[in-house]
Amino acid sequence: MIQYRQLIVTIVISFFITLILGPIVIPILHRLKVGQSIRDEGPKSHMTKSGTPTMGGLIMIAAILITAITSGLVNKDLFVVLFATLSFGLIGFIDDFIKVVLKRNLGLKAYQKLLGQIVIAVIIAFYQSSISVSGTKILIPFMNQYWDLGYFYVPYIAFVVVATANSVNLTDGLDGLAAGVTLIVSSFFSLVAMNWGYSSIAVFCGALTGACLGFLRFNAHPAKVFMGDTGSMALGGAVATIAILMNLTLLIPIVGGIYFAEALSVIIQVVSFKLTGKRVFRMSPLHHHYELKGWKETKVVAVFWSITLILCIVGLFGLSQ
């Protein structure tokens, strides 16, 4: 069983690998001219970010992969969560490549991304239902009881994975926002995994935490690089799979409440505009709404980080009942 010391060492190793890779990868991205294009309808303060290199998620993915594989705690669960991270990262990478290298603004078509995400999710669902001692059961927070989904388990897991990955993708709209929120969420899951005896998952969470922390060195305001869909999709796939392997999917809307709020704001905005012609928010996702209300970007990020920390504490209470 992994100890606190080993978890901290894992975080530190991933952190320093990210710090080392940043100055190597970012200049390469500059030379390749893979700069982020900014939407004209977005907050005007974001126009200065145009041209900032994207696809920086490659830095985090590399740090996570190196740290996890060399941890000495390699097993099937670790391979599954790495598979999810790399697969979703690949979908994001292809999308980024089409947009910033081939200069096709829309990237992958929606059905192409959705199909790929569902296939990956179904593979994860079948693995967990056949390997886990809990089978098709999921833990209900605050009740300390398991709910057996039976035949509904696979479609449920597919929904969780796709929803989480795309929610994290929507959260990645401000400097340091998605990386910081995921840093806190992965720290939460690392503590749970360690205390519950999921050693390989705890190591992966530690690697993820360290990578997010190191990436903030380059992604915090003012960002020198963006993670792009390469990073945000990889983070979303990782968070979802971590929760699935520990049967804690119902905790994602709690500890990942910011992800949930960002996605919900987009859904509400689209439905409201189509039905009534009116917008509920000044702009969606939610972080842009607060920017247009006059909040500085750094304030929005700090508040959303703080909310995530509080929600993770709530999540810990939900598991202690």
Greater model confidence, 151 or 101: 151
Q: Predicted confidence band at 132 (pLDDT cuts at 50, 70, 90)?
A: confident
H or E element that contains 303: helix 297-319
Taking the C-alpha atoms of residue 118 and residue 125, their distance in angstroms, rounded to an integer, is: 10
User: In angstroms, what CA-CA distances link 34 with 51, 98, 99, 235, 287?
Assistant: 8, 11, 9, 20, 24
Q: Predicted confidence band at 34 (pLDDT cuts at 50, 70, 90)?
A: confident
Residues in the chain, overall count:
321
Q: What is the mean pLDDT of residues 78-91?
A: 97
Please check whether residue 101 is in contact with residue 34, taking contact to mean a CB–CB distance below 8 angstroms. Answer: yes
Q: 218 — alpha (psi -120 to 50), left (phi > 0) or beta?
A: alpha
Q: Predicted confidence band at 320 (pLDDT cuts at 50, 70, 90)?
A: confident
Q: Predicted confidence band at 33 (pLDDT cuts at 50, 70, 90)?
A: confident
Q: What is the pLDDT of residue 58?
A: 98
pTM reported for the whole predicted model: 0.94
Q: What is the pLDDT of residue 230?
A: 97
Q: Predicted confidence band at 144 (pLDDT cuts at 50, 70, 90)?
A: confident
State both tokens at 29.
């991205």
Q: What is the pLDDT of residue 77?
A: 93
Instruction: Establish whether 169 is an annotated binding residue.
Output: yes
Greater model confidence, 303 or 103: 303
Taking the C-alpha atoms of residue 120 and residue 126, their distance in angstroms, rounded to an integer, is: 10
Q: Predicted confidence band at 73 (pLDDT cuts at 50, 70, 90)?
A: confident
pLDDT 10s digits, 51-68? 799 999 999 999 999 999
Instruction: Establish whether 219 is an annotated binding residue.
Output: no
Q: Is pLDDT of 4 > 90? A: no
Q: Where are the chain's structural domains? A: 4-248
Q: 144 — alpha (psi -120 to 50), left (phi > 0) or beta?
A: left
